[in-house]
Amino acid sequence: MENPNKKDYNVDEQNKIYIIGGKGVGKTSLFHLIFSNKFKEDIKPSNIGIMKSNYKSGEKIFTIKDLTDDDNFTNTNILKNELEDVLLIFILFAFNDKESFEKAKNLILFIKNNLINNKELNMVLLGNKYDLMGSEPSSVHIEEKEIQQYAEGIDNLKYINISCRNNINITQIKDIINNLEIDECKEEDEDVMNEEERKKRVKEIKEKSCLVF
């Protein structure tokens, strides 16, 4: 998969942020926008796997990961394992794809049911292609009221409408990232795996997975 910052690709991951969602909802477009501030018209559908790069905000460094899945991705142990130390997850759906909203809800349920040693995870539900509300209302298949009612019923879930193409509310996305607090002095809980054990576990799971890295 194309990586906009190749020199950072192999560095150690830290302060992980995930971008997930169904196919064609704009995950990779958002990934590039965070780094470049410019919408890429020529982005091709991503292969199954993970695209990642480091994002620096002042003295803080985050590893932002665009997870492109197939229909079975959320049933693998990759995401479940890494939930233990991820800081923030953006879950995308598209306003012109009702199925993508159902996918987003399933992902949120999966995340909440599989938290590992992580009680401080931030989740943000993003409704992409919001510009269609004005330009092509007949193509919109999800009522905003339905989304808001759903989001209000989920603890610690923030909901934002965005448009990657028209750069709507992308600044809010960056503000959320930039304002994340990192507790570098946090003592390890005895129930939390140490870094060596975590990396070993991730490696074992990846070797058993059909995902491409």
pLDDT at 199: 64
Amino acid at position 1, single letter: M
pLDDT tens, residue by residue, 85-123: 788 999 999 999 999 999 899 888 888 877 756 666 789
Q: What is the pLDDT of residues 18-34, one digit of tens each?
A: 998 888 899 989 998 99
pLDDT at 182: 79
Q: What is the mean pLDDT of the chain?
A: 77
Whole-model pTM?
A: 0.76
Whole-angstrom distance, CA of residue 64 vs CA of residue 28: 11
Name the DSSP letter for residue 13: P
Region 171-196 average pLDDT? 71
**Neighbouring-strand partners of residue 49:** 68
Cα–Cα distance, 151 to 24 (Å, whole number): 22
pLDDT reported for residue 186: 44
Q: How far apart are CA 51 and CA 9, in angstroms?
A: 9
Q: Which of 91, 71, 95, 92 is nearest to 26 (CA)?
A: 92
pLDDT at 183 over 60: yes
Residue 174 belongs to some domain of the structure:
yes
Helix-strand-coil split of the chain, %, nearest 5: 35, 20, 40
Contact 20, 89 (CB under 8 A): yes
| Domain boundaries, position 16 | 6-208
Could you tell me if residue 125 is inside a domain? yes
Report if residue 198 sits inside a domain. yes
Q: Which two tokens stand for residue 68?
A: 């492109």
**How many helices and strands (H and E) does the chain possess?**
7, 6
- In this model, does residue 8 exceed pLDDT 50? no
Report the distance separating Cα 109 and Cα 211, nearest Å. Answer: 22
Which pLDDT score, from 0 to 100, does residue 126 have? 97
Instruction: Look at residue 1 and tell me if it is in a domain.
Output: no
Number of domains into which the chain is organized: 1
Residue 213 lies in a domain: no
Model confidence at 147: pLDDT above 80: yes
Q: Evaluate whether residue 40 is within a structural domain.
A: yes
Report CA torsion sign: 24, 25, 28, 32: positive
- Name the helix (H) or strand (E) containing 30: helix 27-36
Asked if the structure places residue 135 within a domain, the reply is yes
Could you report the per-residue pLDDT of 43-62, keeping only the tens digit for each? Answer: 665 555 677 888 888 888 89
Q: State mean pLDDT over 191-204.
A: 62
CA–centroid distance for 183 within its chain = 21
Instruction: Give the CATH number of the domain where residue 74 resides.
Output: 3.40.50.300
- 130 located within any domain: yes
